[in-house]
Amino acid sequence: MAYNMNEKIKVMVVDDSAVVRETLSSILKADPGMEVVATASDPLIAARKLQSVVPDVITLDIEMPRMDGLSFLQKLMAEHPIPVVICSSKAEQGSGNALKALEYGAVEIIEKPKVGTKQFLEESKTRVTDAVKAAHLAKLKKVKPQAVQNEVAPKLSADAVLPKARGQSVIETTETVIVVGASTGGTEALRDFLESMPLDAPPIAIVQHMPENFTAAFARRLDSLCRVTVKEAETGDSLIRGRALIAPGNRHCLMKRSGARYYVEIKDGPLVSRHRPSVDVLFRSAARYAGKNAIGVIMTGMGDDGARGMLELKEAGAYNVAQDEATSVVYGMPNEAVKRGAVDVSLALGSIAQHVLSRASERRR
């Protein structure tokens, strides 16, 4: 089904909190490309409304009375699949359930917007509308549709966090570092990628667009499934063989270097390419401190975060891989990198890990 840019994205908001329903509805209605066609205080009410209203996207809370969001999601995906954005609090238990929802077929996770500073509210608007647009595109990923455009705050580049290097000063080494960026659909793509990595895999740094506190649970989940060690990155953590570090939600992750040692620095800063953490920031730092010793991987996701940084990686001598369109949930970020000439090869998700390992092995010889 082709996407008509003149048609608004129809959204149903399901949450037991009247305040959250009103806040989300206000954010969505403020976007000229969206309309809220229904709200529901629990899944049973939502199910009844779905008999007469068919939304393009559903925002769904996890913890609700009468029927929990996970049960509703499983039933929905089995009987009438509709793109779902999980809108969850950042409580520890909630984060684990939200990650489980992604395994059940949800497209995105966003943190519930709440009253706070003007900056927080503005960033919440960006995250909510972007997540809904990404979810809407996910079911149409083979058609290359364009998201509805809306007036937004200026999109900052990686300059806002790390100035571009004037020259190259990378020390010669045979150690390869892998840097990965992903967004919509990336949680399952990263699981596939990391489960294919051996115990002695090259060090890996990852940015997955995900809210604060959810990344810690995500890292623990992957650590339980993979042979490599996976953890949420902290400033000073070394990038060593057999370890993958995941950028914490709501903070940027930079690769740094001291002699032959690679490590990460976690820092605050504005949204870059509409995200924090930003793939562009990680890739730029890898271009500066690893250069030709880096392999860049860009995976499924909406938007263009990582495309500029991947081009900087290529210009610094790195080798870059993109996930192909057929296996991407949303072929946005990889496509932008390809269009900029930043990608050396595009591969199906299941082929990326082995290709990267082979390339890293060649460099060690």
Give the Cα separation of 81 and 77 in Å (integer).
Answer: 4
Close Cβ partners of 359 (under 8 Å, ≥ 6 residues apart):
176, 295, 319
CB 52 within 8 A of CB 82: no
305 is catalytic: yes
Write out the DSSP string of 217-269: HHHHHHHHH-SSEEEE--TT-B--TTEEEEPPTTSEEEEEEETTEEEEEEE--
Alpha-carbon separation of residue 243 from 61, 203, 204, 240 (angstroms): 33, 5, 6, 6
Helical (H) or strand (E) element with 320? strand 319-323
* The one catalytic residue among 89, 95, 183, 346: 183
CB 276 within 8 A of CB 270: yes
CB 15 within 8 A of CB 46: no
* The one catalytic residue among 209, 273, 280, 304: 209
Angle between helices 69-79 and 92-104 (to 10 degrees): 10
* The one catalytic residue among 275, 305, 324, 346: 305
Give the Cα separation of 113 and 125 in Å (integer).
Answer: 8
Helical (H) or strand (E) element with 182? strand 177-182
Q: For residue 125, what are its two tokens?
A: 């608007």
| Per-residue burial over 75-100, b = 16 or more CB atoms within 10 Å of its CB, e = otherwise | ebeeeeebbbbbbbbeeeebbbbbbb
Which of 205, 180, 213 is closest to 263 using CA atoms? 205
CB 230 within 8 A of CB 258: no
Which of 76, 32, 44 is closest to 58 using CA atoms? 76
Residue 289, sorted as left (phi over 0), alpha (psi -120 to 50) or beta, turns out to be alpha
Active site amino acids: 183, 209, 305
